[in-house]
Structure 1
Amino acid sequence: MLLEIVSPEGHLFKGDVTSVTVPGVNGEFQMLSHHANIVSVLNEGSIKIAVPNLKAATEYSPKFTRNDKEQKLMLAIHSGTLEMKDNKIIILVD
């Protein structure tokens, strides 16, 4: 599935991912490929992104931290909004 993360400063991430875990207002939740359409408000916390090949992932902002053990990228956010539709996730973050 395609993930795009945008902040007021510009694009932070754009690429194919295998899963995304976000801090929703009712708790953390995960989206996998072909998840049902969803719109959600995000709370302060971390977005966790599983990419097919972490070592090959180069198109992301230096604001991300890498967890090589879990093969994930993580981004701390204050708040945000998420939309998933047609196997594409767009996240707007502060």
Structure 2
Amino acid sequence: MAEKLRLELVSPEKQLLSIDVDEVVAPGVEGEFGVLPGHTAFLTALRIGELIYKVNGKEEYVAIEKGFFEVSNDKVTVLAEGAELGREIDLEEAIRRKLEAEKALEQMRHEDEIKFRKAEAQLRRELLRVSVAEKYKK
């Protein structure tokens, strides 16, 4: 059994990670799940949330939007509609954008349902970005 997993994280814009890791925890549509070296092959859908990976016992965090997660032969491939490494998120800017999303959501509450849902999704993204970025500010 391999001692490490190869983690490949790709968004439409770029490849964010290609690294050997000890463990990956991801936000599946059916709930959070973890993968260790030697895990059986599978493919699943991801929801917006935190992807956590460990390297030599240190946790790293990534804000991801929905996508797909595949495990095969000790390689994890994550294809996400959007992703940001937690250490690269500007916390102050993320908080500002979260507040803007909350304000837009409140203004749309009684207006157009489609616009409301889009604003709600934007708020979820910004809440995630703040949560992930805060882990690096402690």
TM-score range, shorter chain: 0.7 to 0.9
Instruction: Map 1:13-52 to 2 at 5 A.
Output: 13-52=17-56
The yes-or-no answer on 1:88 pairing with 2:88 is no
The yes-or-no answer on 1:11 pairing with 2:15 is yes
Flag as ranges the 4+ runs of structure 1 deviating above 6 A.
Answer: none
Aligned residue pairs total 77
1:66-93 per-position Cα deviation (integer Å, ceiling 9, x unaligned): xxxx711111112010110011011001
- What is the aligned-residue identity percentage? 35
Cα-Cα RMSD: 1.0
- Higher Cα Rg, which structure: 2
> Does the residue aligned with 1:36 lie in a helix, a strand or coil?
coil
Per residue, is there more strand in 1 or in 2?
A: 1
By relative contact order (CA 8 Å, sep 6+), the higher-ranking structure is 1
TM-score (norm 2): 0.54
TM-score (norm 1): 0.78
The yes-or-no answer on 1:78 pairing with 2:78 is no
